Amino acid sequence: MLKQGDQAPNFSVKAHNGETVSLSDYSGKHVILWFYPKADTPGCTIEGKGFCDSIKEFNQESTVILGVSFDDVASNKAFADKFSFPYLLLCDTERMIGQAYGAGSEGLAKRISYLIGPDQTIVKAYDDVDYNTHPQDVLNDITN
């Protein structure tokens, strides 16, 4: 995993809505990059809905939420649409983001996250994520 102070690797990948997204698109904002194992599974749904429930607070803190899995566009689109997620789900089908960020290169993505600062350095790495509390934990780290 990357650690605090490391430069966050840039990436360019398709999101669930078909647009191409790069980390550099969000320079000047905080970014939460949360890796989840598989779209529309119980733990991933709880975590995703947790971020959704706090979206106003994240927006007030100029924080962008980007979910990442190894799922394809169709799977992530169905997941985002089913739960009306107001943020992008990135489709790392080539596992390039996962490999660069230590979330795995085979099988399912590990359940880890990063808080990336406006200067695109790692503010905090979360390697022991509890999907029930993680969205609030990250929000607390941003606001404190």
pLDDT in tens, 36-89: 999 999 999 999 999 999 999 999 999 999 999 999 999 999 999 999 999 999
For 79-133, what is each residue's pLDDT tens digit? 999 999 999 999 999 999 999 999 998 899 999 999 999 999 999 999 989 999 9
- Note the maximum CA span of the chain: 37
Domain boundaries, the chain: 12-143
pLDDT in tens, 2-14: 999 999 999 999 9
Residue whose structure tokens are 């406006």 = 118
Superfamily classification of domain 12-143? Glutaredoxin (3.40.30.10)
Three-state DSSP state, 63:
strand
The residues carrying an active-site annotation are 44
